[in-house]
Amino acid sequence: MKGLKTEGIDNGSASKLTSRLNYIDVPVLARVNAGGLFFELGPQVGFLVAAKQKAEVSGVTSEQNIKDRVRTVDFGYAAGLGYQLSNGPGIGLRYNGGFIDTRNPSGSSAVRNSAFQLYLSYQFGSK
């Protein structure tokens, strides 16, 4: 899940805007192992599954589907590092960044996805 949340004043009234973009991300990463430590880097493609926007102005809430205003495919990159035991648990931290404007149609200033991921893993058997 990716998205944004903003708060501000709209025509003298307090407003909140939340957008949630759900993607299925498919990274293709090269991984370099150095003992238990590893580094990974590569391209990533994301496929939009759902896009919802929730607006709250002066206590009145509305929600709408915005899938038609978001590009259905997102191209980007992923880079990360972590530690993996040869047989057992591991931990990793990855950053994902987008190359293209997610808005459809594009505007004057680009809006790109970016996210940090913290993950745990477990390896069965030894290398």
Q: What is the pTM of this model?
A: 0.80
Q: Stretch 5-32: mean pLDDT, rounded? A: 88
Tell me, what's the pLDDT at 99? 93
Kindly list the distances between the CA atom of residue 45 and the CA atoms of 10, 69, 82, in Å, as whole numbers in the listed order: 35, 19, 22
Tell me, what's the pLDDT at 110? 82
Domain 2-123, what fold? Porin (2.40.160)
The amino acid at 12: G
Q: How confident is the model at residue 127 (pLDDT cuts 50, 70, 90)?
A: low
What Rg value do the Cα atoms of the chain yield, rounded?
Answer: 19
- The domain ranges of the chain are 2-123
Tell me, what's the pLDDT at 79? 98
pLDDT tens-digit map of 23-58: 999 999 999 999 999 999 999 999 999 999 999 988
